[in-house]
Amino acid sequence: MSRQETGDNAVNGATKTASGGFGLSTHPTYPERGGIDVFDSLFIRQPIARGRTGVVRDILADWARDNTEGDVHTLLPVDGVTLVTLFLDDGGFGWTTDSERDRQRSDALLWYIEVMDSDAEVWTLPDETIRSASPLFERGLADLLTGEATVYADGHGDHRYVTHVTNPRRQERYANTVGQTLVAPVAGDKLPIPVVISSLALKPGLTSTLVARAIDVVNWLKQFDRIQSWARNETDTVEAEAMYTESLLLEAIDNRQVIHYYMETEDMDRLYEAFYESDNWETRLSEWLMRRVLANPEVFLNPPLQTDCEIMIHAVDPERPWRIHYRRCDTFPFE
């Protein structure tokens, strides 16, 4: 996953303080800029006890009203966390058609978390980390959740990491779009920027198998510094689209693969306009591939991309990398 610094400034996950809390990340350890596979991501689904969804919603709304001046560290004070979106899932996340959906599946909280390194020790048990660190659980949230959480991340179950892309200028663009206060605890209010989470099925059988193997090969190639450095700087498309964050994770379900997809962007119309008007070979290749490997490509390629998951809280780190703000970290070969 993301390469880490070593030595005194390393980010090795959440460290317990003398008071028993989790240490916050020290900002100089951030990479100088974003790019492709600079950060990592996790999805964690925590089932809600039946009939308790309304109470959970009230707790999140109360917390949001009380923390309008907070940021991502207010929501999840763990080292290396740069972005958290908390969704309310009506039971459909991970399903791609109504016919396959388990009607007995309960509602859930769905956490999308961007981190410096998902291989850090603190993320070995993500559900436990969230429950221990987030102040939401001090408000009675723990008593409203039931059953085992599901972790969607590389190394957990049958999941394959695909990619995680961050716009090198996303913090600057974010500030120019929604203001310098980079906080959005919404809990029912409309978020000023589009954020989407969805699941997209690949064609079953041979197509899914070939895609999974191709991703394995690409991930193997990424271990080489020259390939990694080149890939991390290939951000022209996301900058043209004003895409802030894009994350893809592949999960094997029966005889097919499902892509779990997260997107944070500046403007959905601009994104689609830039995507379809671009003459970049990577953009056109990606469109060609999606039309041939997705079971229902129109769900992804024709706007608007929709989801049944409701955004409850969206919070970022106001210190997450600016292109010119941080000192160079020689450990990160971005430029």
In sequence order, what are the beta bridge partners of 45? 110, 150
What's the rounded Cα separation, in Å, for the pair 201 and 130?
A: 29
What does the pLDDT average to over 60-88? 89
326 has a pLDDT exceeding 50: no
Q: Is residue 22 part of a domain?
A: no
Question: CA dist 136 to 52, 70, 99, Å?
Answer: 15, 13, 34
Asked if 281 and 156 count as a contact pair (C-beta separation under 8 A), the reply is: no
What's the rounded Cα separation, in Å, for the pair 299 and 301?
A: 6
Helix (H, G, I), strand (E, B) or coil at 250: strand
Q: Is residue 335 part of a domain?
A: no
What does the pLDDT average to over 321-334? 37
Q: Is residue 322 part of a domain?
A: no
Of 129-143, 181-195, 294-308, 319-333, minimum mean pLDDT range: 319-333
pLDDT at 54: 93
246 has a pLDDT exceeding 80: yes
94 has a pLDDT exceeding 90: no
pLDDT at 255: 82
More confident residue, 165 or 9: 165
pLDDT at 154: 87
Q: Residue 271: which of 235, 237, 297, 294 has the closest Cα?
A: 237
How deeply is 189 buried, as exposed, middle or buried, from its count of CB atoms within 10 A (0-12, 13-18, 19+)?
exposed
Per the structure, the count of domains in the chain is 1
Q: Residue 13: which of 152, 118, 133 has the closest Cα?
A: 118
Q: Is residue 329 part of a domain?
A: no
Q: Is residue 129 part of a domain?
A: yes
Q: Is residue 9 part of a domain?
A: no
pLDDT at 18: 31
Q: Highest mean pLDDT: which of 86-100, 109-123, 317-331?
A: 109-123
Question: CA dist 210 to 161, 223, 225, 251, 257, Å?
Answer: 15, 21, 25, 14, 10
Helix axes of 281-293 and 206-221: crossing angle, nearest 10 degrees:
150
What secondary structure letter does DSSP report for 22?
A: B
What does the pLDDT average to over 100-127? 86
Amino acid found at 134? S
Q: Is residue 38 part of a domain?
A: yes
What's the rounded Cα separation, in Å, for the pair 321 and 27?
A: 9
pLDDT band with cut points at 50, 70 and 90 for residue 112: very high
pLDDT at 29: 66
Longest dimension (CA), the chain: 55
Mean pLDDT of the chain: 77
pLDDT at 10: 35
Asked if 115 and 4 count as a contact pair (C-beta separation under 8 A), the reply is: no
**Tens of pLDDT along 23-57?**
544 444 667 677 888 899 999 999 999 999 999 99
Token pair in block for residue 118: 């998902």
pLDDT at 98: 53
pLDDT at 184: 60
299 has a pLDDT exceeding 90: no
In sequence order, what are the beta bridge partners of 108? 47, 89
pLDDT band with cut points at 50, 70 and 90 for residue 19: very low
133 has a pLDDT exceeding 80: yes
More confident residue, 285 or 180: 285
What does the pLDDT average to over 264-285? 74
More confident residue, 210 or 324: 210
15 has a pLDDT exceeding 90: no
What does the pLDDT average to over 83-96? 84
What does the pLDDT average to over 242-260? 89
List the domain range (segments joined by +) for residue 209.
Answer: 27-316
Q: Is residue 159 part of a domain?
A: yes
